[in-house]
Structure 1
């Protein structure tokens, strides 16, 4: 018994730091959306008072530092500018707000946005971005994205995956690739890189791409919409969001603030159609093994003693390995011997009262004392 106790102490000493370093499993009711593109994805609509009212269930994970006190990799209320300093209202503002409004209140929305005004799709090509000739006005923007906008998107998205589940990828880009018929194939490569780098599946994470300003609205690149609309032919999980009827600011490229709001709503409506009937996932399901998400099995002994407690739950040890104690384990909660550092006796066979003291009645399991409870049958 003494040797067995020593082995247990050794396990606790060598692995307690691993348990202490675990984090809570991602919240399946926290829906994350990635977004990338050029100036229309940044947002170029003048910000009005109504845009500054936060939606409590919509947050943005900052990809751009030194901006209004924000730090890269931290969550903030999703009020403009979302993408970077000096950006304005864009489609992502009202995309997230609309989802929050129309999805069950238990579901939160998060956004990760990287966008560079005027950029070609090349800037997001992980093996080709370094050959991109930046315009002077892009240099500081790209620098603040760590010199590699694609990598910044991936790095921050990985942080987001610790908190929630990525549900979709939004794109608004194409003006700087106007008329290039190979653009859909280049977008496909970027999309597939994102999926691969984040361990995502296309059938679970669709791509939503928005049209540019229509020619009928004075758009300078309206002809690009014909190419944008071929995306679903190249990417089966791609969906195109119409810009028909959306007004522009007068420069032929950028939508008005009102149009950005409606555009964001259109992106959201398309996503809602894809999502279908969204069910809230019960994260308080006590019968499920919560510790599996952290790489550990749950304890098989219903009366396993609590040897460590953290934000995730209560832990015990079986076969010199950590195991999570099921949260609805009534046997564990009623086990008076746990407070003394012992398990309660297994209920699979009758028990003999070998010893009795002021604490209770005792038997032996696996050469260890165990406390007898009302659930045990006396032989």
Structure 2
């Protein structure tokens, strides 16, 4: 059972986001996505971004991009916006997004990531380097900073395309989740894992068969919740969502989280 008892700076809810390109944000950011972002929705920058006047480890109003300096719209955008629109006015939401386009879940394996990183394609190595070669360690580093300001209330995952067909994927995800809980001194009952499906078969998803494996995640992680991608439009490459698809998916992540928090959603 998910516990929503609040402690320390409990009015600041923090969420860790990780995965590959769909969590990184592949769609072009549209004007509607950069306006009227509530200051109660914050992002902790995980890399230095001079082009955005952002410094690693600092909080900023969550105007996209929310991953690295030149990434696109991500589910985290409308996840956070939906939360602040429904939570009490004195509550804030913060996200930390560490994601690498195209990566397998093995890149977030605390003990064996180097094996994968060393064999990653050249185009991916630059993204990995932005996290000093270890995205998992960067996520933990930022999360520990964030814990000084608020309480980690959930972990958002969107990954799977690069592991399509891998029936051991749920166990690999469990290892990442368990390591995060241990390294950040978190209790699984209070910090659920929300995992989004890849582009659905109803949208011609090239990796849609992976959703069968993703859907089984709660059997391996009792505190995992799967977020449906049904009806979320893709951009034409059968792998990545459109901006509207990310908005829809982000709102669905938020609806599930609000349900666990016992918050009635404003229509």
TM-score range, shorter chain: over 0.9
Map of 1:95-244 to 2, 5 A cutoff? 95-132=79-116, 133-244=119-230
Are the equivalent residues in 2 in contact too, given 1:60–1:75 (CA < 8 A)?
Answer: yes
Map of 1:7-46 to 2, 5 A cutoff? 26-46=8-28
For the residues of structure 2 that align with 1:59 and 1:116, how far apart are their CA atoms? 21
For the residues of structure 2 that align with 1:26 and 1:34, how far apart are their CA atoms? 18
1:94 equivalenced with 2:75 (yes/no): no
Task: Give 5+ residue unaligned stretches, structure 1.
Answer: 1-24, 279-379
Are the equivalent residues in 2 in contact too, given 1:232–1:238 (CA < 8 A)?
Answer: yes
For the residues of structure 2 that align with 1:66 and 1:57, how far apart are their CA atoms? 21
Are the equivalent residues in 2 in contact too, given 1:26–1:161 (CA < 8 A)?
Answer: no
Task: Give 5+ residue unaligned stretches, structure 2.
Answer: 1-6
Are the equivalent residues in 2 in contact too, given 1:32–1:164 (CA < 8 A)?
Answer: yes
For the residues of structure 2 that align with 1:86 and 1:220, how far apart are their CA atoms? 25
Higher helix proportion: 2
Are the equivalent residues in 2 in contact too, given 1:26–1:162 (CA < 8 A)?
Answer: no
Q: Which residue of 2 aligns with 1:83?
A: 67
RMSD: 1.2
Secondary structure, aligned partner of 1:249: coil
* Higher alpha-carbon Rg: 1
Runs of 4+ residues over 6 Å off in structure 1:
none
Are the equivalent residues in 1 in contact too, given 2:49–2:68 (CA < 8 A)?
Answer: no
Q: Which residue of 2 aligns with 1:263?
A: 249
**How far off its partner does 1:45 sit?**
1.4
Secondary structure, aligned partner of 1:51: helix
**How far off its partner does 1:26 sit?**
4.7
Larger RCO: Structure 1 or Structure 2 (Cα < 8 Å, ≥ 6 residues apart)?
Answer: 2
Of stretches 243-252 and 59-68 in structure 1, the one that deviates more from structure 2 is 59-68
For the residues of structure 2 that align with 1:112 and 1:92, how far apart are their CA atoms? 9
When normalised by structure 2's length, the TM-score is: 0.93
Q: Which residue of 2 aligns with 1:293?
A: none
**How far off its partner does 1:70 sit?**
1.3
**How far off its partner does 1:181 sit?**
0.3
Are the equivalent residues in 1 in contact too, given 2:86–2:263 (CA < 8 A)?
Answer: no
For the residues of structure 2 that align with 1:241 and 1:110, how far apart are their CA atoms? 20
